[in-house]
Amino acid sequence: MSIKDEMTIQEEIETPRSPHLLSAKNIYHIYRGKAERASVVALKGVSFDLDPGEFVSIVGPSGSGKSTLLQIIGGLMRPTAGAVFFEGQDVTKTPEEELTMFRRRQVGFVFQEGNLLLDLSAFDNVNQSMALNGLPYQHRKKRTLELLDLMGVLHRKNQIANRLSGGERQRVAIARAMANNPKLIIADEPTGNVDFTTSVRLLELFKELNRETGMTMLSATHSNHVAGYADRSIELRDGLLLGLHGKGIDLAQLDMSRMVVMDSDNRLTLPANIMAQLGSFGGLWAIDVVDQSKILLTPLESLTEQAPSIISDTETKECPVCSTFNPIDGQFCISCGARF
Ligand X SMILES: Nc1ncnc2c1ncn2[C@@H]1O[C@H](COP(=O)(O)OP(=O)(O)O)[C@@H](O)[C@H]1O
Q: Which residues bind ligand X (CB under 6 A)?
A: 31, 40, 42, 60, 62-68
Structural contact between residues 159 and 171, judged by C-beta atoms closer than 8 angstroms: no
Helices (H), the chain: 3-14, 66-73, 96-106, 122-131, 137-150, 166-178, 196-213, 224-229, 254-257, 272-278, 301-306
Residues 78, 30: Cα–Cα separation, whole Å = 10
Q: Which is nearer to ligand X, 63 or 271 (CB)?
A: 63
Minimum Å gap between C-beta 68 and ligand X is 3
Q: Which is nearer to ligand X, 67 or 210 (CB)?
A: 67
Q: How many residues contact Mg ion, by CB under 5 A? A: 2
Quick one: how far is CA 32 from the chain centroid? Answer: 21
Q: Which residues contact 244 (CB under 8 A, 6 or more apart)?
A: 232, 233, 234, 235, 258, 259, 261
Minimum Å gap between C-beta 41 and ligand X is 8
Minimum Å gap between C-beta 82 and ligand X is 15
User: Of Mg ion, ligand X, none, which one does residue 75 interact with (CB within 5 to 8 Å by kind)?
Assistant: none
Q: Which is nearer to ligand X, 146 or 238 (CB)?
A: 238
CA distances in angstroms from 311 to 44, 244, 304, 340, listed in the order given: 21, 34, 15, 16
Structural contact between residues 182 and 106, judged by C-beta atoms closer than 8 angstroms: yes
Residues 65, 234: Cα–Cα separation, whole Å = 12
User: Of ligand X, Mg ion, none, which one does residue 152 interact with (CB within 5 to 8 Å by kind)?
Assistant: none
Minimum Å gap between C-beta 163 and Mg ion is 27
Residues 92, 90: Cα–Cα separation, whole Å = 5
Minimum Å gap between C-beta 6 and Mg ion is 49
User: Of Mg ion, ligand X, none, which one does residue 216 interact with (CB within 5 to 8 Å by kind)?
Assistant: none
Q: Which is nearer to ligand X, 116 or 236 (CB)?
A: 236
Residues 265, 237: Cα–Cα separation, whole Å = 18
Residues 41, 238: Cα–Cα separation, whole Å = 9
Structural contact between residues 133 and 180, judged by C-beta atoms closer than 8 angstroms: yes
Q: Which is nearer to ligand X, 27 or 116 (CB)?
A: 27
Residues in region 199-218 near Mg ion by CB under 5 A? none
User: Of Mg ion, ligand X, none, which one does residue 23 interact with (CB within 5 to 8 Å by kind)?
Assistant: none
**Could you tell me which stretch among 62-70, 259-267, 313-321, 323-331 binds Mg ion (CB under 5 A)?**
62-70
**Could you tell me which stretch among 11-19, 58-66, 78-86, 242-250 binds Mg ion (CB under 5 A)?**
58-66
- Residue 129 binds Mg ion, judged by CB under 5 A: no
Query: Can you tell me which of 23, 57, 64, 67 binds Mg ion, judged by CB under 5 A?
Result: 67
Give the DSSP letter of residue 260.
Answer: -
Minimum Å gap between C-beta 69 and ligand X is 7
Handedness of CA 53, 91, 107, 14 (dihedral sign): negative
Q: Which is nearer to ligand X, 70 or 174 (CB)?
A: 70
Q: Which is nearer to Mg ion, 66 or 171 (CB)?
A: 66
Q: Which is nearer to Mg ion, 108 or 190 (CB)?
A: 190
User: Of Mg ion, ligand X, none, which one does residue 40 interact with (CB within 5 to 8 Å by kind)?
Assistant: ligand X
Q: Which residues contact 151 (CB under 8 A, 6 or more apart)?
A: 171, 172, 174, 175, 205
Binding site for Mg ion (CB under 5 A): 66-67
